[in-house]
Amino acid sequence: MPGPGSRAYRAFVLDEGGAIRSAIVLQAEIDDHARAIAATITNAFGADLWERARFLGSDPPRSSCLAF
């Protein structure tokens, strides 16, 4: 259950073309916690993080291939 200082954030997961694939609601007390949570759930295409109408940034795409 979210604490009294918790705020709702949304991570918009992007597809390979940069379009929104899905949205995930996150609860965090501060922006840095929301960024850390979003970084753990984004896929190979990245995500945009918002708190209401405030844009916090993008988590860049991650390579889905391993380089040897």
11-36: pLDDT as tens digits: 999 888 888 999 999 999 999 999 99
What is the number of structural domains in the chain?
1
What's the confidence (pLDDT) of residue 66?
A: 42
Domain span including residue 13: 7-52
What's the confidence (pLDDT) of residue 67?
A: 43
Q: What is the mean pLDDT of residues 30-44?
A: 86
Structure tokens at 34: 């929301």
What's the confidence (pLDDT) of residue 1?
A: 58
pLDDT at 61 over 50: yes
The DSSP bridge partners found for residue 35 are none
Task: Specify if 45 maps to a domain.
Answer: yes
Task: Specify if 17 maps to a domain.
Answer: yes
Task: Specify if 1 maps to a domain.
Answer: no
The alpha carbon torsion through 13, 18, 20, 24 (nearest 10 deg) reads: 10
